[in-house]
Amino acid sequence: MNILIINSGSSSIKYQLISMPSERVVCEGLIERIGSENAILKYSTDTSKLEETQAILSHKIGLLKIADLLLDPSLGVITNAAEIAIVGHRVVHGGKAFSDTSLIDASVKEKIKNLFSLAPLHNPHNLEGIELAEEIFPNAKQVAVFDTAFHHSIPEVAKRYALPKKFYENKVQVYGFHGTSHKYVSEKAIEYLQLKSSKIISIHLGNGCSMTAIKDGKSIDHSMGFAPSNGLIMGSRSGDIDHAVIFYLVETLGYTLEQVNELLIKKSGMLGLTGFSDLRDIQTEAANGNQDCILALQMNTYRIKKYIGAYAAILNGIDAIIFTAGIGENSALIREMVCTDLEFMGITLDTDKNNTRSKTLLEINKKGAYVKVLMIPTNEELEIAKQAYRLINV
């Protein structure tokens, strides 16, 4: 059974065609820097590989290019759309409506649309991908896997805001995000560590960034909340900010609420601090002495450290911390800056191991370290495929 996985991020699309139940990857690829004239398109199979830089100004254009590659007479891996049995979609916000994987119908699409305001960088692209996949692969079953589902285990003490109870009853709470990724890598860590009980901090660092405190395989706290906008400093999102700043921007500086929303979600974070949203550019500039970029890296990793301390407290100790996703897997500098001066917690990094490139789980702490520091490549696409396959075949 061929399952096509579409994983739309805020500025990227990862995709894989996976044969299930063997879990064999037939093809895979990535589109990065969507919205720019210099987007990067990657596509690979067992026999071919393509990488191009071109203008991809929207997620829709990117999705159409993916479909063209899959069906391409020379590079493609299918001859017609009917060969795709299931299209599995990552959907960022499921609210209280979705606690598990769901077969997509008109009602599901409407609920995803109703959550646009809570995940404006993601849910619209997720729904766009669903609707486009319905057109291109009309015979395939469309399945949604929600980022928020893994975090339904967060206890009330952690997911409630200090607001009157009526707001909680009206669905104002912590939902949590990147759940598919946090679930996948934490399960890999538990398997690797061979622990019957475990205390793990999972650090997902990409254009969007989040951290999860995971006890015995279950999410018990998370850095994002009602929407995927608070917590860590991200590519273009500010992360945690004093809400009084919003009132100051509106009442004193004359911003509209719409302008404030755009500022905090699309023009802040690393982009606002440096003028760059891609960490690779920021690291290059920092190495060349750009003080704004140096400070931004310091602020970014400082925030991560604060959350490590907080989650160590609520977990009552740590067995392991995990770095994952595009930045977490590839930036030795970020990992080093995060782990520096955490020796008192038992976190010590082996410099040589940290600078080793790996496509599989890598333990990068010093030998004998009390806390294991793991780099684990996330595979949201495989996790989505497994959940979609189970849903259709159970």
Residue with token string 């191009």: 52
Q: How far apart are the first and last CA of the chain?
A: 14
Q: Is the pLDDT of residue 220 over 70?
A: yes
Contact at 8 Å (CB) between 10 and 32? no
pLDDT at residue 366 in the model:
96
Q: Is the pLDDT of residue 184 over 70?
A: yes
Strand order in the sheet with 36-45: 49-56, 36-45, 24-32, 13-19, 2-8, 86-91, 141-146, 102-103
pLDDT at residue 211 in the model:
98
Confidence of residue 97 (pLDDT cuts 50, 70, 90): confident
Whether the CA torsion 217, 130, 377, 391 is positive or negative: it is: positive
Binding site for ATP, residues? 14, 204-208, 278-280, 326-330
Q: What are 362-373's pLDDT values in tens digits?
A: 999 999 999 999
Binding site, residues? 7, 14, 90, 204-208, 278-280, 326-330, 380
Q: State percent of the chain over pLDDT 70.
A: 100
Full-model pTM: 0.86
pLDDT at residue 136 in the model:
85
Binding site for substrate, residues? 90
Q: What are 294-313's pLDDT values in tens digits?
A: 999 999 999 999 999 999 99
Tokens of 209: 């960034």
Tokens of 41: 């398109």
Binding site for Mg(2+), residues? 7, 380
Ordered by start, the domain boundaries in the chain are 2-146, 194-375
CATH code matching the domain that covers 194-375, chosen among 3.60.20.10, 3.30.420.40, 3.30.1490.100, 3.50.50.60: 3.30.420.40
Catalytic residues: 147
The more confidently predicted of residues 123 and 189 is 189
Mean pLDDT of 115-128: 83
The more confidently predicted of residues 124 and 211 is 211
Query: Are domains 2-146 and 194-375 of this chain identical in fold?
Result: yes
* DSSP three-state, residue 308: helix
Confidence of residue 394 (pLDDT cuts 50, 70, 90): low
Mean pLDDT of 12-39: 91
CATH of the domain spanning 2-146: 3.30.420.40
Contacts of 61 (CB under 8 A, 6+ apart): none
Q: Is the pLDDT of residue 42 over 80?
A: yes
Q: What are 257-284's pLDDT values in tens digits?
A: 999 999 999 999 999 999 998 899 999 9
pLDDT at residue 228 in the model:
86
Among 379, 388, 38, 344, smallest CA distance to 186 is for: 379
Q: What are 130-170's pLDDT values in tens digits?
A: 988 898 889 999 999 998 989 999 999 999 999 999 999 98
Q: Looking at 53-62, 198-207, 328-337, which range is the least confident one?
A: 53-62
* DSSP three-state, residue 348: coil
Helices (H), the chain: 59-71, 106-114, 123-136, 156-159, 165-169, 179-193, 244-251, 257-266, 269-274, 279-287, 291-315, 325-330, 332-339, 351-354, 380-393
